[in-house]
């Protein structure tokens, strides 16, 4: 794990350089309505874990009771070198996970989500099949799911666990998968990554292809949740489909680097929350992971041994466009956010995006666009 000099986070720069009304104006444009900090000072935390907690305000209704849910997003760097033995790496990550989940329970978290492929280095840049394929395991019966089932049951917490899946039933195929464990410790289901990147170092199709699970929404005691894994956040129809299936919270566990996607990071999940009338949770890993052998990106630049810096900055966005500050770009962190799911309907009533979205209009276009004889609707000046 090489050390890279990185700035801590955007919010610190704003705080340092803007004051008074200038700060408030910029903050409102970037983050929407102000969120409230939750005081967790009485809870003992690991000093190496940045813990921040916020409440996104929601007007109370006359007929429906508040549906308050606390979400926990955990971002981390791998605690040992990427080249470590597999079981040693997993044990170190399990220890880190257990501490984060215990802290989440003390903070009142109901739904907890890890970053993409949390129980391994993000080695897919290397295009080496071994040892990295050995991290793949059964979504339902693998050791990571079994480990988390006990914690979910003990702490009455829904846990979303993105892993590298080995489908032993279907020819040992590998998938990029999120496992959902309910608060009773039961396996609720899984979702496989719908969109696979082929950009720069992120050529993940060496290991797995596009998922085949559609856009499932998982009904839990704490709300209807879905998982839009990493690169899927760049696809508006992917977000839309989870909303059409009734999602109230959509998690976006990711592993992405500053040189590639950081200008898009604060926009995409927030925009998805606004457009689809649900809460979104963007989680990104932290740090720089260095591998034994050099690899190239197909861009003419020199071979290298790391992806670049994973910039963290995890945040939660609400359907009204408000969002929390991001976590650190360089540190392990837990973001606790309390939301009221009643806001989803309130915002839909206010803006009417769903009422006016004209699905029939776009369904017709898409049905024609997928055909080989499709002709774009372009109107040209006729020759006289």
Q: Catalytic residue numbers?
A: 116, 193, 230
Secondary structure class of 289 (helix, strand, coil): coil
- HSE on the CB side for 230, CA within 13 Å? 31
| The two three-digit tokens of residue 56, written as one number | 């996104």
Helix (H/G/I), strand (E/B), else coil: 127? coil
Contact status, residue 134 vs residue 86, Cβ threshold 8 Å: yes
d(CA 362, CA 367): 8
Query: For the chain, what is the radius of gyration of the CA atoms?
Result: 21
How far apart, in Å, do the first and last CA atoms of the chain sit? Answer: 68
Alpha helices in 125-183 (DSSP H): 143-155
Using CA atoms, how far residue 22 sits from 16, 19, 67, 81, 259, in Å, is 12, 6, 35, 43, 29
Q: Can you list the pairs that 3-12 forms with residues at least 24 positions away whose Cβ atoms lie under 8 Å? A: 3/288, 4/288, 4/309, 6/258, 6/309, 6/311, 6/329, 6/330, 7/329, 8/328, 8/329, 8/330, 9/313, 9/325, 9/326, 9/327, 9/328, 9/329, 10/266, 10/313, 10/326, 11/325, 11/326
Q: How far apart are CA 306 and CA 318, in angstroms?
A: 34
Q: Is 133 helix (H, G, I), strand (E, B) or coil?
A: helix
- Strand order, beta sheet including 158-167: 36-37, 50-55, 333-340, 68-75, 111-113, 158-167, 173-181, 187-192
The whole-angstrom separation of Cα 219 and Cα 246 is 9
Alpha carbon of 87 to those of 80, 90, 119, 166: distances in Å? Answer: 11, 5, 10, 17
Q: With contact defined as beta carbons under 8 Å apart, do 41 and 250 qualify?
A: no
């Amino acid at each position: 794990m090489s050390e890279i000099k990185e700035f801590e986070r955007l919010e610190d720069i704003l705080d340092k350089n803007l004051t008074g009304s200038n700060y408030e104006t910029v903050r409102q444009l970037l983050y929407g309505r102000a969120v409230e900090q939750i005081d967790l000072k009485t809870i003992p935390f690991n000093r190496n874990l940045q813990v921040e907690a916020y409440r996104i305000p929601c007007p109370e209704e006359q007929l429906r009771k508040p549906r308050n849910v606390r979400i926990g997003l955990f971002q981390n760097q791998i605690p040992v070198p990427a080249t470590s033995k597999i079981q040693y790496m997993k044990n170190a990550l399990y220890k880190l996970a257990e501490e984060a989940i215990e802290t989440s329970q003390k903070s009142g978290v109901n739904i907890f989500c890890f970053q993409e492929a949390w129980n391994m280095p993000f080695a897919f840049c290397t295009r080496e099949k071994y040892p990295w394929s050995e991290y793949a395991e059964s979504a339902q019966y693998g050791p990571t799911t079994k480990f988390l089932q006990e914690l979910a049951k003990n702490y009455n917490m829904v846990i979303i666990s993105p892993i590298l899946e080995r489908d032993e039933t279907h020819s040992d195929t590998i998938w990029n998968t999120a496992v959902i464990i309910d608060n009773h410790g039961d396996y609720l289901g899984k979702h496989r990554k719908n969109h696979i990147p082929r950009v720069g170092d992120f050529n993940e199709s060496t290991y797995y292809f596009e998922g085949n699970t559609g856009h499932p929404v998982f009904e839990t005691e704490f709300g209807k949740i879905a998982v839009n894994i990493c690169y899927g956040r760049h696809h508006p129809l992917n977000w839309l489909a989870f909303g059409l299936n009734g999602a109230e919270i959509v998690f976006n566990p990711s592993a992405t680097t500053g040189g590639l996607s950081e200008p898009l990071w604060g926009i995409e999940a927030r925009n998805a929350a606004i457009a689809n009338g649900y809460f979104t949770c963007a989680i990104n890993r932290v740090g720089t992971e260095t591998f034994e052998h050099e690899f190239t990106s197909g861009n003419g630049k020199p071979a290298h041994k790391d992806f670049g810096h994973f910039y963290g900055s995890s945040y939660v966005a609400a359907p009204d466009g408000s969002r929390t500050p991001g976590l650190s770009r360089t540190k392990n962190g837990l973001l606790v956010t309390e939301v009221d799911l009643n806001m989803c309907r309130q915002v839909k009533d206010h803006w009417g995006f769903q009422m006016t979205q004209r699905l029939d209009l776009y369904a017709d276009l898409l049905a024609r666009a997928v055909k080989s004889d499709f002709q774009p609707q372009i109107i040209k000046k006729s020759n006289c």
